[in-house]
Amino acid sequence: MTGDDPLLRAEGLEKRFTTSDGLLERLLGRGETIRAVDGVDLEIAEGETLGLVGESGCGKTTLGRLLVGLDEPSAGSVVYRGRDLATLDRRERRELRTNVQYVFQNPLASLNPQLPVGDIVGEPLAVHDIVPPDRRDDRIADLLETVGLEPSAANRYPREFSGGQCQRIAIARALAVEPEVLVCDEPVTALDVSVQARILNLLSELQAEFGLSYLFVSHDLSVVEHVADRIAVMYLGRIVERGSPTQLFEGDSHPYTEALLSAIPEPDPCWEGDRIVLEGDVPSAIDPPSGCQFHTRCPKVIPPSAYDLECEVFRGVMDLRLDLADAVADGGDPREALRWPPAGATNATAIDADSTFTAGAIKDAYGIPRTLTDEDAEAALTEALEALAAGDAERARSRLSRTFESPCETDRPDPQVVDDSGDARHRIACHRFYDRATRE
């Protein structure tokens, strides 16, 4: 490996899980496939902290487990110091465990409650035969002092410690084998703010002292901003943006990243910033959306090039389309799947629960202006809504689907370099950063 090569690299990494309801399905290999990690490329350099952020369930933990070899990938590769983990034999994998370690999210759950702390921290020393038995007690004491605990803690049990202290014990156990890479999975999420700061400071001090590289997994961008050299943003198993903290916080951002940034608590009580609330649920990883997987929730989804529509207006049309498609698929009353009655609509004061199910009222329910500025779009939308109001949901669905198809749902966006001026390349996988000619 040359000096320019990353310490740890993932290429085209995928992890799929198959669900099954019973023994027969498992035996026959039938079931639904969950795409937990879906084609991820990632690099971690020596001494670097890479932050990995995203909502719960986006695949962050699974990706971390793949990188340390706790799970086997379904496709793609993980390369450590130039060697593909898939090519390692049992002895070499055992050696890998000493170089790449994992710090779990729940510190107390990751510690054996039946063992004293000295045995927990000392177990890796014995398993990998790193320190002779007659010197292990001294090494355990050194490790505990390194993470800010008294050597006497070795004689106590995990239940006797606070959450922050348990996390220190977990870090000491990981450091016992003198690793080069630590994957820290939400290491401060379960801790109080003051304790979080102490653990983050400890990780920074350990990195400076031992030259560690970190993958820091978190859902909190405000935490990652202060510890990471680079940040990767993950959504539904894919990396949608990566760059330095400055690039993400001060430059252009993926719409999903913008929503995460807007959710960071602001200490100023007079702050008047806009919180971006993402509508709808995170799509299922069993049947993820086509194209850009974020298009079902994106507030900046791109309208069809044939129409002159604002993003906010088209978002309402897209929501109507998606809800109506679900209603037709279920075969029930469309009102049960649509936003009806439109209690939360823009013009809700003019509508009550007994309002007539009309084209205008449906527009109100989705925040769509009663008359669109684009005459062709208005004609197509009115035709579909009149069919819906008349009870022909399938005709309405077909008209909306045929007319208001976004490039975001048909084409999977490749990462585009939007800033190459700093230490890190800022890449965003979003159609908004394509040239319009390319998008069309």
| pLDDT higher than 60, residue 34 | yes
- Residue 98: name the closest of 124, 121, 118 by CA: 124
Residues 100 and 183 sit within 8 Å (Cβ to Cβ)? yes
How much is the pLDDT for 338?
Answer: 79
Looking at the chain, the whole-number percentage of residues with pLDDT higher than 90 is: 56
The most confident of 130-134, 180-184, 221-225, 271-275, by mean pLDDT: 180-184
Give the number of other CB atoms < 10 A from CB of residue 64.
Answer: 24
Q: Which two tokens stand for residue 197?
A: 């700061």
User: In whole angstroms, what is the distance from residue 108 CA to residue 324 CA?
Assistant: 46
**What was the pLDDT predicted at 390?**
84
The Cα diameter of the chain in Å comes to: 85
Arithmetic mean of pLDDT, 217-243: 93
* pLDDT class of 26 with cuts at 50, 70, 90: low
Residues 439 and 408: their CA atoms lie apart, in Å, by 9
The more confident residue out of 333 and 143 is: 143
23 pLDDT more than 60: no
Q: Which of 193-197, 287-291, 347-351 has the highest mean pLDDT?
A: 287-291
pLDDT tens track for 261-272: 988 876 666 665
Identify the pLDDT of residue 281.
Answer: 76
Does the pLDDT of residue 1 top 60, yes or no?
A: no
- Measured CA to CA, the distance from residue 59 to residue 389 in angstroms comes to 41
Please name the residues in contact with 381: beta carbons below 8 A apart, sequence gap of 6 or more.
Answer: 317, 363, 368, 372, 400, 403, 404
Taking the domains of the chain in order of start, what are their residue ranges? 8-21+31-228, 311-405
Q: What percent of the chain has pLDDT over 70?
A: 89
Per-residue pLDDT reduced to its tens digit, 68-118: 988 999 999 999 999 999 898 888 888 888 899 999 888 888 899 999 999
Contact 301, 311 (CB under 8 A): yes
Residue 160: pLDDT band by 50, 70, 90 thresholds? very high
Q: Please state the rounded mean pLDDT for residues 343-372.
A: 66
Would you place residue 437 in the very low, low, confident or very high pLDDT band (cuts 50, 70, 90)? very low
Query: Rounded distance, CA 31 to CA 313, Å?
Result: 39
Mean per-residue pLDDT, 334-359: 56
Residue 336 amino acid letter: E
Supply the pLDDT for residue 132. 87
3-state secondary structure 131-164: CCHHHHHHHHHHHHHHCCCCHHHHHCCHHHCCHH
- Classified by CATH at the fold level, domain 8-21+31-228 comes out as Rossmann fold (3.40.50)
pTM of the model: 0.88
Distance from C-alpha of 324 to C-alpha of 384, rounded to nearest angstrom: 11
**pLDDT in the model for residue 246:** 92
Query: Which pLDDT belongs to residue 20?
Result: 64
Which residues are bridge partners to 13 per DSSP? 40
Q: Which residues contact 103 (CB under 8 A, 6 or more apart)?
A: 167, 170, 171, 174, 182, 183, 184, 185, 187
Residues 238 and 293 sit within 8 Å (Cβ to Cβ): yes
Q: What is the dihedral of CA 70, 76, 78, 81, to 10 degrees?
A: 160
What percent helix, strand, coil does the chain show, rounded to 5?
40, 15, 40
Kindly state the DSSP code that residue 85 receives in the 8-state scheme: G
Q: Sorting pLDDT into bands at 50, 70 and 90, what band is 347? A: very low
The two structure tokens encoding residue 44? 């971690």
* Residue 277 pLDDT > 90: no
